[in-house]
Chain A
Amino acid sequence: MKVTEPKSGATIPETFPSPSIGVWQHRHVLDLDDFTAEEIELVFEIADAMSEVLTREVKRVPALRGKTIVTLFYEPSTRTRASFELAAKNLSADTVSLDASKSSIAKGESLVDSLRTLQALGADVIVMRHSQSGAPYLATQHLNTSVMNAGDGWHAHPSQALLDLFTIRCHLGGLAKLKVVIVGDILHSRVARSDIWGMTTMGAEVTLCAPPTLLPRSLAEFISYCQIPNVSVESRIESALEGADVIMPLRLQAERQQSGLLPSLREYIQLYQLTEERLSLAKPYALVLHPGPMNEGVEISPEVAYGTQSVIEEQVTNGVAIRMALLYLIAGGRSK
C-alpha cells in the first residue's frame, strides 16, 4: 500500500490508490467475523493516511466526490453518527442524514421499504444503526448498495472494534500476544462481540470479565464452535487484570440493574469498577479504552478515565480516520 506523501498543510487534495488492487474483498462492512488479518492491516494502513489528512488545515480529500453516503440511525447516537458524517464529508462525499424517529419510518414504513427508497435516491453507501441484531444483513439481501454496519442490536459494531484495534496499534505497535481485558456487560455488547473477532484475528488474547448474569450462558460453546482462539473468562476483575496490556470497561446501562441482572449498582461498582488501585494490577503501560458513552463513577472511575493511561479521547479521533478508511474502501475508486 503506497500512499502519496502529502506536504504538511497542503490544501490540494490527494487521491488515494485504488483499494480494489489487493486483499480487500468486502462490498459491505457488517462485522469482523469475516475479516482476515491482511484486510484489517489494510484498513489500518489507509487509516494512517487518513489520520494525516486529519492533521491538515483543510481536512478534506476528494476521494469520494460525487458519492452519496446516507446515515440511517434507528437508535440514538451522537458520536458514531457524527464520526461517520465527518468521515464522509472529509472524503468530499455528499451526506444525507436520516433520523428514524423523524422520518416516514415513524409512520410505519418497513426497514426494507426505507432502504429501497434510499437506494432509489442514489445512495452509494448506507451507514446503518439499528436496535435489532441482524438488521444490516437484511439490508444486504434487498439492496445493491453497500451497507456499513454502525451497530446492530447486541450483535456487531465493526467500525468501533477497528478503531479500538487501531488505537491499540498506535500505542503498542500491534496486537499480537497482547492481553486485552474487556470488563462488564458482555451479554448485551455489540462492541465486545466485534472486538472478540477482531482482536483474536490479530493475535491478541482476550479475557472477558463480568458477573455471570452479564455473560452469555453459551459463551464457551460459542467460542469453541466458532474456533475463536485465546478467549478466556474470569469473573474476578483483580485476577483478570493481572498482566493486562489493554483494559476496556463497557458501559453499564441503568436498566440492567432495573431488570434484575444485578443486585445493585453499588455491588457492581464495588466488584467491577476500574479504579486506579485495580489498574495498578495491570502492566505499567497498560492502555485504558472505553467505547463510550461513559458512566463515570460506575464502570470506570473519573481518575482512570482522565488519567495518563487513558486513550479514550484518542479513540474518538481515530474513529474518524477508521471510518474514512472504511468508506473509502467500500465506496472509493472501484466500479461496482
Chain B
Amino acid sequence: MSAGLIIRGGRLLDTSQGIDKVGDLLITGGKIARIEDDGAVSSQSDLFIIDAAGLVVCPGFIDLHCHLREPGFEDKETIATGTRAAARGGFTTLCCMPNTNPPLDNQASIDYIRKTAETEGVVRVLPIGCITKGRQGKGLAEMSELAEAGVVGFSDDGEPVASSRIMSLAMDYSRALGLPIIDHCEDKELTDGGVMSDGWVSTRLGLKGIPAAAEEIVVARDLALARLTGARIHIAHVSTRGSVELVRRAKESGMEVTAEVTPHHMTLTEERVMGWKSGRGNQLTYDTSAKVNPPLRAGEDIAALIKGLREGVIDIIATDHAPHAVVDKMCEFGLAAFGISGLETALGCLMGLVHNGELDLMALISRLTLGPARIIGTRYGELGTLKPGCQADITLLDPDKEWVVNSQDFVSKGKNTPFDGYQFKGKVMATIVAGDIVHQDASFKIEKKQ
C-alpha cells in the first residue's frame, strides 16, 4: 500500500508544527509527502483515498509505558496481540517495559523484542531496558550495551530500585548515554503488601491500603538524586496530588524532569473498587479489574492530575497497558494481579475529559504524540509529527463517535478493564504506520480511486 494514500478533508492537528486546519494529507513511500488545503491534492489513479471529513487527523499516538509480556508471559499478551491492540487504540509506537521473563537486561533480549516486533508486530515497538540486572535492584545492567541495542530508556518498572545509592549510580551512568531513567516510584516497604489506595474505601472493604506517601517519598528521592547527578529522569504513572506538586516545584527550579499520567488515574477514583455504585445499601463488589499499581486515588488527586496535565507539569499520557489472563483477575481481590489493559480504551476514556471541558483537544493530542516523542528523541527518526519527510504514522479519530466498551471485543489478550460497559464518546477510526493502514474501524470505509 506504500504506493500512496490521500487523507482528504480531515482536521489536521499537529502540535509539532502548530497546525490545526482542515486539509489534505498526501502519503507516499511510507512517508508524509505534503499537507495541502482541502481538495488541493489531485487524485491520482493509484492512490487510496480516505475521506476524513469530520475526523481529526493527527500524528500516531506514542505510548511510553506499556507491557507486552513477551517473552515469558505469552498467556497475558504477545507482541503480535499487543501491537494489534495498540493499532486499535490509535497507537503507532509502543515503548515496552522490561519486566518480562527473562527481563530485558541484555542485548540478546532487546534484539529478540525488536526482531519479533518486526516480523509479528503491526506498530513500532521500542524497548525499554532494565536499570539493574534481573530487576534485582543490586547491580547496574549493562546499560551502555542496552543503549547500543536500541533501548529508549531504562526502568525497573514494577520493582522500583529501593537503594538510593544504586539509583544514583544508574542516573550517573545514564547521563553519558543520553537516555532517561524511568522510575516507578514506590516505597515498597511502606506499601507493605497494600492492594488499593489507603483511604475510607480501603477501611470500609477491610483491604490493606497503599498511602500516597509511598509514591511521594520516592518521587522526592528521585528528584533529589537527579539534582545530584544531573540525570534526565521521567516519573512513571504519577497518581497523587503530592507527586504533581513535587514535579511542579522541580520544573520551576529548572530541572530536566518529565512525568506521565495514565487515562485511568485521571478518570476513576478508589471508589471504583467497590463496583459501579457506592454508599450504604448497595451490594459491594471487590472489583479486581480496578486493582492497579499505583492504585486509583481520591477525587482531589484526579483534579490535581488533570490540572497538572493541562498546565504541562505532567508532560505525557501513557497507558501502562498491563494485560492479564482471566485467571489472574478472577480471584480474591488481595491475590489478584495489579494492572489494567488500557490500549484500546485510552482515547475514548480521555475524550471524556475533552468533552467535559477539562482538557482541550490540542493539548490531549500533544501529550499523546509530541510529548512522548520528545522524551524518546530522534534515534528512531522524528516521531509524533506530520512534517513532510517523516514517517507516516497517523491516527484518524472521530471525536464525537459514541461507543460502548466491550472487553470481549478487545484484540489484546488482556480483557482486564474497569471500563467494561462504559459509554465513551470519541473513537479511533483508522491507524496508519509508515503509510500502511494497520487498523480501521468496522464502520469506516477506505476506497481505492480508479
Which residue numbers of A lie inside 8 Å of B, CB to CB? 30-31, 33-34, 110-112, 130, 132-135, 137-138, 141, 152-156, 190, 193, 216-219, 221-222, 224-227
- Select which of B203, B327, B333 is within 8 A of A216 by beta carbon: B203
Provide the residues of chain B in CB contact with A112, threshold 8 Å. 330-331
- Select which of A135, A193, A227 is within 8 A of B332 by beta carbon: A135
Closest to A135 in B: B332
- Select which of A155, A224, A225 is within 8 A of B206 by beta carbon: A155
Whether B334 and A226, one on each chain, are in contact in the complex, defined by CB atoms closer than 8 angstroms, is: no
Provide the residues of chain A in CB contact with B207, threshold 8 Å. 133-134, 153-155
Query: In the complex, A30→B275 CA distance in Å?
Result: 16
Query: In the complex, A33→B206 CA distance in Å?
Result: 13
Provide the residues of chain A in CB contact with B208, threshold 8 Å. 154
Whether B333 and A226, one on each chain, are in contact in the complex, defined by CB atoms closer than 8 angstroms, is: no
A134 and B332 in contact (CB under 8 A), knowing A34-B283, A141-B285? yes
A217 and B209 in contact (CB under 8 A), knowing A137-B285, A141-B285? yes
The minimal Cβ–Cβ distance linking A113 to chain B, given in whole angstroms, is: 10
Query: In the complex, A61→B286 CA distance in Å?
Result: 37
The minimal Cβ–Cβ distance linking B275 to chain A, given in whole angstroms, is: 9
- Select which of B279, B284, B335 is within 8 A of A132 by beta carbon: B335
If A222-B203, A224-B200 are given as contacts, then 19 extra A-B residue pairs at C-beta distance below 8 Å, sorted by A number, are: A33-B284, A34-B282, A111-B331, A130-B332, A132-B333, A134-B333, A138-B332, A141-B285, A154-B206, A154-B207, A155-B205, A155-B206, A190-B206, A216-B209, A217-B211, A218-B199, A218-B203, A226-B280, A227-B279
For the complex, is B18 an interface residue (Cβ under 8 Å from A)?
no
For the complex, is B281 an interface residue (Cβ under 8 Å from A)?
yes
The minimal Cβ–Cβ distance linking B449 to chain A, given in whole angstroms, is: 53
Whether B334 and A133, one on each chain, are in contact in the complex, defined by CB atoms closer than 8 angstroms, is: yes
Query: In the complex, A156→B283 CA distance in Å?
Result: 14
27 example contacts (A-B, Cβ-Cβ < 8 A) are as follows A33-B280, A33-B284, A34-B280, A110-B330, A111-B332, A133-B334, A134-B332, A134-B334, A135-B332, A138-B331, A141-B285, A153-B207, A153-B334, A154-B206, A154-B208, A155-B207, A216-B202, A216-B209, A217-B203, A218-B199, A218-B203, A219-B203, A222-B204, A226-B200, A226-B279, A226-B280, A227-B279
The minimal Cβ–Cβ distance linking A186 to chain B, given in whole angstroms, is: 10
Query: In the complex, A45→B329 CA distance in Å?
Result: 41
For the complex, is B393 an interface residue (Cβ under 8 Å from A)?
no
Whether B332 and A132, one on each chain, are in contact in the complex, defined by CB atoms closer than 8 angstroms, is: yes
Whether B198 and A217, one on each chain, are in contact in the complex, defined by CB atoms closer than 8 angstroms, is: yes
Provide the residues of chain A in CB contact with B199, threshold 8 Å. 218, 221
- Select which of A134, A222, A224, A225 is within 8 A of B286 by beta carbon: A134
Query: In the complex, A317→B112 CA distance in Å?
Result: 66
Provide the residues of chain B in CB contact with A152, threshold 8 Å. 206
Query: In the complex, A96→B157 CA distance in Å?
Result: 46
Provide the residues of chain B in CB contact with A31, threshold 8 Å. 284
Query: In the complex, A111→B330 CA distance in Å?
Result: 9
Whether A134 and B205, one on each chain, are in contact in the complex, defined by CB atoms closer than 8 angstroms, is: yes
The minimal Cβ–Cβ distance linking A203 to chain B, given in whole angstroms, is: 16
Q: Mark B260-285, 1 if CB is under 8 A from A, else 0.
A: 00000000000000000001111111
Provide the residues of chain B in CB contact with A219, threshold 8 Å. 203
Query: In the complex, A219→B199 CA distance in Å?
Result: 8
The minimal Cβ–Cβ distance linking B424 to chain A, given in whole angstroms, is: 25
Provide the residues of chain B in CB contact with A218, threshold 8 Å. 198-200, 202-203, 209
A133 and B280 in contact (CB under 8 A), knowing A156-B206, A216-B203, A221-B200? no
Closest to A138 in B: B332
The minimal Cβ–Cβ distance linking B122 to chain A, given in whole angstroms, is: 34
Closest to B333 in A: A134
A138 and B209 in contact (CB under 8 A), knowing A34-B281, A133-B334, A218-B198? no
Most buried by B among A152, A218, A226: A218
Those 5 A-B pairs whose CB atoms lie nearest each other, nearest first? A155-B206, A134-B286, A154-B206, A132-B332, A221-B200
Whether A132 and B200, one on each chain, are in contact in the complex, defined by CB atoms closer than 8 angstroms, is: no
Closest to B283 in A: A34
Provide the residues of chain A in CB contact with B281, threshold 8 Å. 34
Closest to A142 in B: B330
Provide the residues of chain B in CB contact with A133, threshold 8 Å. 205-207, 286, 333-334
Provide the residues of chain A in CB contact with B200, threshold 8 Å. 218, 221-222, 224-226
Query: In the complex, A154→B327 CA distance in Å?
Result: 24
Query: In the complex, A226→B204 CA distance in Å?
Result: 9
Closest to A28 in B: B283
The minimal Cβ–Cβ distance linking B224 to chain A, given in whole angstroms, is: 26
Closest to B275 in A: A137
Provide the residues of chain A in CB contact with B335, threshold 8 Å. 132
Closest to A190 in B: B206
Query: In the complex, A138→B282 CA distance in Å?
Result: 15
Q: Mark B161-188, 1 if CB is under 8 A from A, else 0.
A: 0000000000000000000000000000
Whether B203 and A132, one on each chain, are in contact in the complex, defined by CB atoms closer than 8 angstroms, is: no
Provide the residues of chain A in CB contact with B203, threshold 8 Å. 216-219, 221-222
Provide the residues of chain A in CB contact with B279, threshold 8 Å. 225-227
Provide the residues of chain A in CB contact with B286, threshold 8 Å. 133-134, 137-138
Most buried by A among B206, B280, B283: B206
Query: In the complex, A193→B286 CA distance in Å?
Result: 16
Query: In the complex, A84→B316 CA distance in Å?
Result: 55
Query: In the complex, A111→B206 CA distance in Å?
Result: 19
Find residues 303-331 in chain B having any chain A CB closer than 8 Å to their own CB: 327, 330-331
The minimal Cβ–Cβ distance linking A265 to chain B, given in whole angstroms, is: 21
Closest to A225 in B: B200
Closest to A219 in B: B203
Most buried by A among B209, B281, B286: B286
Query: In the complex, A111→B333 CA distance in Å?
Result: 12
Whether B280 and A110, one on each chain, are in contact in the complex, defined by CB atoms closer than 8 angstroms, is: no
The minimal Cβ–Cβ distance linking A184 to chain B, given in whole angstroms, is: 16
Closest to B206 in A: A155
The minimal Cβ–Cβ distance linking B277 to chain A, given in whole angstroms, is: 12
Closest to B202 in A: A218
Closest to B273 in A: A134
Q: Mark B415-434, 1 if CB is under 8 A from A, else 0.
A: 00000000000000000000
Query: In the complex, A217→B199 CA distance in Å?
Result: 7
Provide the residues of chain A in CB contact with B280, threshold 8 Å. 33-34, 226-227
The minimal Cβ–Cβ distance linking A196 to chain B, given in whole angstroms, is: 10
Query: In the complex, A153→B199 CA distance in Å?
Result: 17
